[in-house]
Amino acid sequence: MVRWKPGAQQRLHAAAMDLYAERGFEQTTAADIAQSVGLTERTFFRYFVDKREVLFAGQEAFQQVFVDGVAAAPEDASALDAVASALQAAASFFPDDRRTHSRRRQAIIVANPSLHERELLKMAWLSAAIAEALRRRGIAEPQATLAAETGVTVFGVSYRQWLAEGEERSLAAIEDDVLREVRALSSSTV
Amino acid sequence: MVRWKPGAQQRLHAAAMDLYAERGFEQTTAADIAQSVGLTERTFFRYFVDKREVLFAGQEAFQQVFVDGVAAAPEDASALDAVASALQAAASFFPDDRRTHSRRRQAIIVANPSLHERELLKMAWLSAAIAEALRRRGIAEPQATLAAETGVTVFGVSYRQWLAEGEERSLAAIEDDVLREVRALSSSTV
DNA sequence: GTCTATAGTGCGATAGAC
DNA sequence: GTCTATCGCACTATAGAC
């Protein structure tokens, strides 16, 4: 009789997603999740600092793609161009065959304000990381922060559109359009 | 002997701010706050849906100033111009004699991630309200959302600068500068 | 106003991997 | 033997239900 099977974190993650989707986030206790994969509540909290964090596993890798994308932009690129480069890099994180999974995850999040909060916090961290990457390129404040937050805004609007019912364009294509809209915002005549 | 003094909500608010500042948000229980003004924990939760909400009382009025500011912009103003008008209106919410109080409040918030989360949620609501006001002006999506989020970004950057040590300019003056920077972002040559 | 479920923490014990 | 994943138990505070 084995005391523990490997992959506890991933089993917990999968079970949590299923239960959150089935009966809702608040109606699912940490003990429910743990029990459903043969572990205890205490072990659940070893792997996830709280119940919400399950839905945001993989954030670091996601963020790193943005940071690397900024770093990879041509040396003479403007702040917004470097951000555009990062957005394209990040789109590879969401190939079209992940759309169904992403929709399922997003449905869980929008159904619960506290999960929405957590998502916003993660986006704020992403923004801070991008701003830092821009500063490493020599871009000063407040331009670094403004460009980073604009990038996160573009990502957010694009991502939601990517998940919209009936939408079939790739995330990269949508980002392109949205970025064009953002650039046009400022140049509107007064 | 009076059974209860008036102004329970305000006394709770003041007591919470003091205790959060003194010993930290997590080290302060709802019972502590209530007891310090002669009320019970149960009463605290009558006035504030949760412990964090105390720091965000007055959000509705704040948000309304933005919405009204958007509505008050000249009819032919662009989306970003309407947002600029809202930003100027909102600055009146933060006269210089409130800077000390705002600094104190912000210190509490940045010291605690869960408060930061709540603040981000409030900013997201603000953004949604501004976008809605822009749509009422006939601005379509995604421009309405992009302009609204840009406005909130400008507000956030400006507000933090307004609170920065040594800063003496008014919030309105800072917003002007930051808005200029945002407009310049998109027009940088490639 | 009371009662209760549950999130989340701290610490120590235990069982297996190596 | 060490190292580490897991568990057990006691506990506090939040928040909601009754």
B139 DSSP assignment: P
Can you give the pLDDT at residue A1?
43
Q: How confident is the model at residue B3 (pLDDT cuts 50, 70, 90)?
A: low
Tens digits of residue pLDDT in A118-129: 999 999 999 999
> Which of these, B58, B94, B60, B88, lies nearest to B72 by C-alpha position?
B88
Query: For strand D, is any atom closer than 7 Å to the CB of B47?
Result: no
**Mean pLDDT over residues A64-93, rounded?**
97
The distance from CA B58 to its chain's CA centroid, rounded to whole angstroms, is: 8
- The whole-angstrom separation of Cα B152 and Cα B141 is 17
Can you give the pLDDT at residue A2?
55
* Secondary element (H or E) of residue A38: none
Amino acid of residue B126: L
CB of B27 less than 8 A from some CB of A:
no
For the cut 50, the answer to whether the pLDDT of residue A93 exceeds it is: yes
Q: Which nucleotide is nearest to A45 (CA to C1')?
A: C8
Q: What are phi and psi of A74, to 5 degrees?
A: -55, 150
Tens digits of residue pLDDT in A137-173: 999 999 999 999 999 999 999 999 999 999 999 999 9
Instruction: Report whether B14 contacts B25 (CB < 8 A).
Output: no
Q: How confident is the model at residue A190 (pLDDT cuts 50, 70, 90)?
A: very low
Can you give the pLDDT at residue A186?
85
Instruction: Find the Cα–Cα–Cα–Cα dihedral B175, B181, B186, B188, rounded to 10°.
Output: 170
Instruction: Find the Cα–Cα–Cα–Cα dihedral A75, A81, A84, A88, rounded to 10°.
Output: -40
Q: How confident is the model at residue B2 (pLDDT cuts 50, 70, 90)?
A: low
Interface test with A, best of B153, B174, B175, B178 (most A CBs within 10 A): B153
Q: Straight-line distance from CA A156 to C1' D17, in Å?
A: 37
- List B residues 79-118 in contact with A (Cβ-Cβ < 8 A): 79-81, 113, 116-118
Q: Straight-line distance from CA A42 to C1' C13, in Å?
A: 14
What is the dihedral sign for C-alpha B68, B74, B79, B85? Answer: negative
Tens digits of residue pLDDT in B138-190: 999 999 999 999 999 999 999 999 999 999 999 999 999 999 999 999 876 44
Q: Straight-line distance from CA A33 to C1' C3, in Å?
A: 26
Can you give the pLDDT at residue B7?
87
- The whole-angstrom separation of Cα B135 and Cα B127 is 12
- The whole-angstrom separation of Cα A189 and Cα B81 is 9
Q: Which residues lie closer than 8 Å to A172 by C-beta, 6 or more apart?
A: A88, A91, A92
- Among the partner residues B78, B147, B181, nearest to A146 by beta-carbon distance: B181
Question: Which residues in chain A are contacts of B109 at CB distance < 8 A?
Answer: none
Q: What are phi and psi of B141, to 5 degrees?
A: -85, 150
Chain-wide mean pLDDT for chain A?
95
Instruction: Report whether B162 contacts B106 (CB < 8 A).
Output: no
Percent of chain A topping pLDDT 70: 96
- The whole-angstrom separation of Cα A58 and Cα A162 is 20
Q: Is A120 within 8 Å of B118 when comparing Cβ atoms?
A: no
**Mean pLDDT over residues A73-82, rounded?**
97
Instruction: Report whether B30 contacts B41 (CB < 8 A).
Output: yes
Question: Which residues in chain B are contacts of A189 at CB distance < 8 A?
Answer: 78
Can you give the pLDDT at residue A5?
75
Query: CB atoms < 10 A from the CB of A58, how many?
Result: 10
